[in-house]
Structure 1
Amino acid sequence: MAILQKHGKNSGSDLASLREGDPDSFGPVGAHSQKKRAEATSYWPRPVARIWTAVLLLGTCLLYCARVAMPICAVTMADQFKWSKKESGMALGSFFWGYCFTQVIGGYVSDRVGGEKVMLLSAAAWGAMTAFTPVLAHFSSQPIISLTLGRFLVGLLQGVHYPSLASLCSQKVVESERGFLMSTVGSGSYLGTLVIGGAGSLMLDMYSWESVFYVSGFLALLWAYCMWKYLLKGEGPIITLESLGGGGTQPKMTRRNWLRLFKQPAVCAVIITHLCTASTFFTLLSWLPTYFKETFPDAKGWVFNVIPWLVAIPSSLFSGCLSDHLISQGFDTAVVRKLMQFFSMGVSSIFTLFLCGTNTFPMAVAFVSATMGFTTFSHSGVSVNVQDLAPSCAGALFGVMNTCGAFSGVIMVYFSGYLIEATASWTSVFALISLVNILGLATFLVFAEARRVDIDGLKARYHTIHI
């Protein structure tokens, strides 16, 4: 009797080569092969994937237009409503409190019923809430309370976007093209920040801060309608209790599987690294407009609100193409993910530290642009690594990651406001951001992997198979 031992980073392909010879002779292994072939047929054809990529890119762009509307208008609103730095930090950070609560449930529902349905419903809701924000401010005797509540609700509604995106990508996109899709769609965050930074600054100067919220909310509602009309063909995004409990597009993970999943060092590394990446990005996103306004008061808002994000867009696209190319050339997937994350957290931290010693506006814009450009490499690193590890529950697991990131974002945004007020210097904030990035990078470099760990069937990789 011959005994075949399974080893190596790409056990799925090894098992597939065995199954294809005689699936019936392997019992459950043959069934797993049929399941894999069924999953392959559910992937989008490339032309359809390209259309969805463009639509999701636009949706993420509008998501960030609504998200960044508050930081763009924060200085003007603080002057009008007489807010302190701590109150501004509370209003800015309230978004992330709401953002924490819907990540996991959004990913779970997306894994069960499809990410496109969850994304559509949430976009219609947060678009309406964004347009309604100025009304909350003007019809309340305590604008700080009503706006904090409003931003909390927007965060609550936007919290499902990225988990549903991760779920949709794992279900509909082949592995060799996921890096490109995630980096392209991820660049929508920078495109949205760019658009609202430029157009929002002009609207702020020419009209009022209210116009920024009105336009952002209306465009999100228009996107949701077009997605429903032309991609979903007018079908209602109906989510039933039956679809949540029994059916679904992915096999249901048991509690035992979830516990086993969270015991994996690679999964813990992804969560910790994403926590660090998200918290530092959210801090920069929230406070950079204020940093430029206070440090360089004569500078034009459209310059520092546009140029860094103009650099980030091609950088994100380049990272996706580079990672997919390296993997297609035979480089180990885990090594490629770590390389992308090294640029995202390691190299970007160098330029963040350079901000501590600069006192000229052009140099500050250059360093911020380099920081944001290299930060985008995380879309081809930790963000897509969750799909390598757990494609069957990528939405829910990404929700766990984003919950941790959003919670740390709340703490860092608020704590940064405290540091600025206590030290009267931005150096402490930039040093804190760099320290958090280095800790996250070290964790990822040591523990990250790219093998699949989400289903019991892959344990066969470590077992002996008798022939």
Structure 2
Amino acid sequence: MAILQKYVKNSSSELVKSTAESTVFTEAAPLQKEEADDPYWSRSETQLWTVVLLLGTCLLYCARVAAPICAVSMASEFQWDKKESGIVLGSFFWGYCFTQVLGGYVSDRVGGEKVIVMATVGWGSLLTLTPMIAHFSAVPLVSVTLSRFLMGLLQGVHFPSLASLFSQKVPQHERAFISSTVGTGSQIGTLLIGGAGSMLMDWYSWEFVFYFSGLLAVSWAYCIWKQLLKGPILSLETVGVGLVKSRNARIPWKRLFSKSPVWAVIFAHLCTSSTFYTLLSWLPTFFKDSFPDAKGWVFNMVPWLVAIPSSILGGYLSDHLISLGFETAAVRKLMQFFAMGASSVFTLLLCGTRTFPLAVAFVSATMGFQTFTHSGVSVNVQDLAPSCAGSLYGVMNTGGALSGVFFVYFSGYVIDTTGSWASVFALMSLVNVVGLVVFLVFAEAERVDIDDSKPKCESIQI
């Protein structure tokens, strides 16, 4: 009996030892597999793509602002009145609204970088051809309006594609800094085309502004395709993988829209976008009405120069707080508090401003704090639904663009009716505060694109 007990004891110890060794082996294997299949960019790849996408966003805004810069010269040449010029400029935003969701949906399946490159080739080529379209058309108003609408369609995929790309290639604790840095391309592009475009019109003509912006964009896309993608942008294999993803991983729209954090991020983005578009559209008119003798380059450049480092600072601060152990949701709310709360304080201060330097300072602070939204709402979409971040961002940005167009029009109506800029600034602050309260109460950073309540079946390896 003692011998049997000894045998059983030894056998049991050997079995435990064998099981332990097997467990170590089976635990190590998945780790090695995860390292081999790590979906995220390496440090060097992250740095390279950050610079590349920053430049791409810069060129995007160079192309977007080219027409507004040339609007006066084009209207004079083709004899357009203010209403007809408004039709041409506004047609871009109608096209911009239509491809947001589609761009994000396709990016979630074939890769955001591919969609961005293809779209850039399209809108870059169209921008280069715009002067010829205008000159050789029997009705320039119609042809240029159509080209601007098509440009909006092609550029509408850019930011949803970025959201999709970052959610797939960048870890959560690094997304805010990269998103904020790439987002500064909008300010840099606006400043670049403002300076270069003015010089090109002085030295040559308005056509060269379109040639300059369009050819730079096409050259950028060609370099990315040649040096980084190194192959066909859309191969049969890529299309096949995308079709499989579309079939097997449908977007859970019903589940997403049943979650209050999703509605919180959408509503906050609507409020932020509407106030930002209003500032962008009416600030030059505000300064000309309030300070007729002020130099235009000051209020057209200084706020953007402040916004660039502010955006980068917000992204760095956000990722740093998360790395220190602060909850992701709390950090996102803090960044949005600066973007909507602090900016509203300086917007309200504009109501009683009587001196030009103070007005420029308050506007610069407002624009600077608003860039913190890149580290708040914009990244929160990727927290909530990384598997379909591009599609959800597309929905959000479509609503933001539409609300922006409406709010710009409504602000003009308020100015005409009341004759007071203070009423517009107060309304903007109210909208921001309401959006901020909703975001602070309901926003979260946990994934909602998957159902955690369902039991998971894991295979056991021996």
**TM-score by structure 1 length?**
0.83
Measure, in 1, the Cα distance between the counterparts of 2:24 and 2:407: 53
Is residue 296–residue 361 contact of structure 1 (8 Å, CA) maintained in 2?
yes
Q: Secondary structure at the match of 1:41?
A: coil
Q: Does 1:431 align with 2:426?
A: yes
Q: Secondary structure at the match of 1:224?
A: helix
Is residue 289–residue 304 contact of structure 1 (8 Å, CA) maintained in 2?
yes
Corresponding residue of 2:394: 399
Corresponding residue of 1:246: 244
Post-superposition shift, 1:338?
Answer: 0.6
- The residue identity in structure 2 corresponding to 1:111 is D
Corresponding residue of 1:229: 226
Post-superposition shift, 1:295?
Answer: 4.7
Mapping for residues 168-207 of structure 1, pairs under 5 Å? 168-207=165-204
Distance 1:82 1:335, change over 3 A: farther
Identical columns (%): 66
Q: Does 1:288 align with 2:286?
A: no
Measure, in 1, the Cα distance between the counterparts of 2:32 and 2:89: 46
Post-superposition shift, 1:188?
Answer: 1.1
Deviations 1:66-104 (A, max 9, x none): 112233344555566665655554433322211111011
Distance 1:431 1:132, change over 3 A: farther
Corresponding residue of 1:109: 106
Deviations 1:111-148 (A, max 9, x none): 11001110000011111222233334444565444333
Corresponding residue of 1:65: 62
Q: Does 1:334 align with 2:345?
A: no
Mapping for residues 34-433 of structure 1, pairs under 5 Å? 37=34, 41-77=38-74, 86-140=83-137, 142-238=139-235, 242-247=240-245, 252-254=248-250, 257-293=252-288, 295-423=290-418, 425-433=420-428
Is residue 102–residue 157 contact of structure 1 (8 Å, CA) maintained in 2?
yes
Corresponding residue of 1:443: 438
Q: Secondary structure at the match of 2:127?
A: helix
Measure, in 2, the Cα distance between the counterparts of 1:23 and 1:189: 50
Post-superposition shift, 1:39?
Answer: 9.5
Distance 1:50 1:155, change over 3 A: same
Over alpha carbons, which structure has the higher Rg? Answer: 2
**TM-score by structure 2 length?**
0.84
Post-superposition shift, 1:277?
Answer: 1.4
- The residue identity in structure 2 corresponding to 1:445 is L
Is residue 110–residue 239 contact of structure 2 (8 Å, CA) maintained in 1?
no
Structure 2 gaps of 5+ residues are 1-21
Structure 1 gaps of 5+ residues are 1-20
Deviations 1:267-312 (A, max 9, x none): 0111111122122222322333444455545444433322111111
Is residue 99–residue 157 contact of structure 2 (8 Å, CA) maintained in 1?
yes
**How many residues matched?**
433
**Could you say which structure has the greater relative contact order, defined with CA pairs below 8 angstroms and 6 or more residues apart?**
1
Post-superposition shift, 1:24?
Answer: 13
Distance 1:88 1:267, change over 3 A: same
Measure, in 1, the Cα distance between the counterparts of 2:419 and 2:83: 13
Is residue 279–residue 408 contact of structure 1 (8 Å, CA) maintained in 2?
yes
Distance 1:420 1:219, change over 3 A: farther
- The residue identity in structure 2 corresponding to 1:203 is L
Q: Secondary structure at the match of 1:459?
A: coil
Is residue 96–residue 409 contact of structure 1 (8 Å, CA) maintained in 2?
no
Distance 1:94 1:361, change over 3 A: farther
Is residue 353–residue 434 contact of structure 1 (8 Å, CA) maintained in 2?
yes
Q: Secondary structure at the match of 2:447?
A: coil
Q: Secondary structure at the match of 2:184?
A: helix
Measure, in 2, the Cα distance between the counterparts of 1:443 and 1:119: 32
Deviations 1:21-72 (A, max 9, x none): 97999xxxx9xx8899479611111111100000001001111111122333
Measure, in 1, the Cα distance between the counterparts of 2:35 and 2:395: 28
Distance 1:436 1:331, change over 3 A: same
Deviations 1:402-425 (A, max 9, x none): 111111122223334444455555
Post-superposition shift, 1:149?
Answer: 2.5
Corresponding residue of 1:459: 453
Measure, in 2, the Cα distance between the counterparts of 1:172 and 1:84: 48
Distance 1:228 1:108, change over 3 A: same
Distance 1:427 1:39, change over 3 A: farther
